[in-house]
Structure 1
Amino acid sequence: MLKKIDKKFTFFLEWALIIALNLIAILMFIQVLFRYVLQLPLNFIEELLVIPGIWFYILGSVYASKKEEHLNARIIEIFFKRVKSIATLRALTAALSTFVCGWLIYWSYDLCKYSFKVNKASTILGYPMSIIEVSLFVGFVLMFIYTVAELVKYINVVNGKRKELN
């Protein structure tokens, strides 16, 4: 059941990333065309680019967390030979990441509450800034879920319920 949901979510996530990236490329092309070829700068394009740009960045971070391809420096692991020792180190790292992600969820939730309360709007187009700010909360919640899954995986390796790290 969970694998089916995860598969559908991955499909949605991949398409959201593709759409956001294409939207960024199209908007940039339009901006360059109008600004440098037609000498008619469209100021609202830069403001509009923020929406797919932020969502692309945040959803890309979620995708990296899901695939466990986020940036990490596993230099200390060189000194360990046993899989269980490496898994313990990775479990500690995942536990710390889970804590940090939980803290970021708390702060991004406060930012969302504030954004909805104040009802900030963009300067030129006047769209609600909560469209952008809610991406942080959504992204951190999703990253938290995948970080907890990573933590459970490494704990299972440490406890012997799973043989390999990957």
Structure 2
Amino acid sequence: MMDRFAAVLLTGLICLVALGQFFQVITRYVFQIPVMGLEETMLYPTIWLYIFGAINASRENTHIRANVLEIFLTSERAHTILAIVGEIISLIVGLWILGWAWDYTKYAWRVWRESPTLYIPTFYSDVALLVGVTLMMLYTAWHLIRHLLTLKYGTVA
């Protein structure tokens, strides 16, 4: 169910951003009539697309990694231990960033900025960082638990 929701959400956001850019190109370069504020409105789905893409990579555990140590490790147990260390470091750094995201969200709520042309509250894009980092940390914790269970019991379904 979560896979389907993520696929539909990301596809919808990609289509929205692509259509907005297509519309902008057609009106600006073909008809020579730029649509004022279109870039401003495209900012919101673009930011959420980026954040949900990162969340999806955390959910699938498919972030790009440079695990050079895996080359030298021969046992599956050593790979699992390396994964556990990586998840713990990710949690520490991520929770630190989550604190910053929380502070930034409180600031965005207090200041309540608006976009320059259409006066759309920027809070709706600013809060994406807090939502994204929170969900990424939950998925990281989930993967850490799975790695710990794998280390303890062997293969985890």
Q: Considering the TM-score relative to the shorter chain, is it more than 0.5?
A: yes
TM-score between the two structures when normalised by the length of structure 2: 0.94
Q: What residue identity is the alignment partner of 1:68?
A: N
Structure 2: how far apart are the matches of 1:44 and 1:55?
A: 18
Correspondence for 1:148? 141
Aligned CA RMSD, in angstroms, stands at 1.4
Correspondence for 1:162? 154
Correspondence for 1:14? 7
Q: What residue identity is the alignment partner of 2:50?
A: Y
Q: How does 1:27-42 map to 2 (within 5 A)?
A: 27-42=20-35
Correspondence for 1:76? 69
SS in 1 for 2:37: helix
Structure 2: how far apart are the matches of 1:31 and 1:162?
A: 54
| Runs (4+) off by over 3 Å | none
Q: What residue identity is the alignment partner of 1:11?
A: R
Q: CA deviation at 1:12?
A: 2.4
Correspondence for 2:115? 122
1:11-50 residue CA offsets vs partner (Å, 9 max, x unmatched) = 3222221111111011111100110011011131111111
TM-score between the two structures when normalised by the length of structure 1: 0.90
**Structure 2 residues without counterparts, runs of 5 or longer:** none
Correspondence for 2:96? 103
**Structure 1 residues without counterparts, runs of 5 or longer:** 1-6
Aligned sequence identity (%): 31
Q: 2:124 aligns with which of 125, 131, 152?
A: 131
Correspondence for 2:87? 94
Q: CA deviation at 1:101?
A: 1.3
Q: CA deviation at 1:163?
A: 2.7
Correspondence for 1:3? none
Structure 1: how far apart are the matches of 2:8 and 2:135?
A: 16
Q: Is it true that 1:56 corresponds to 2:54 in the alignment?
A: no
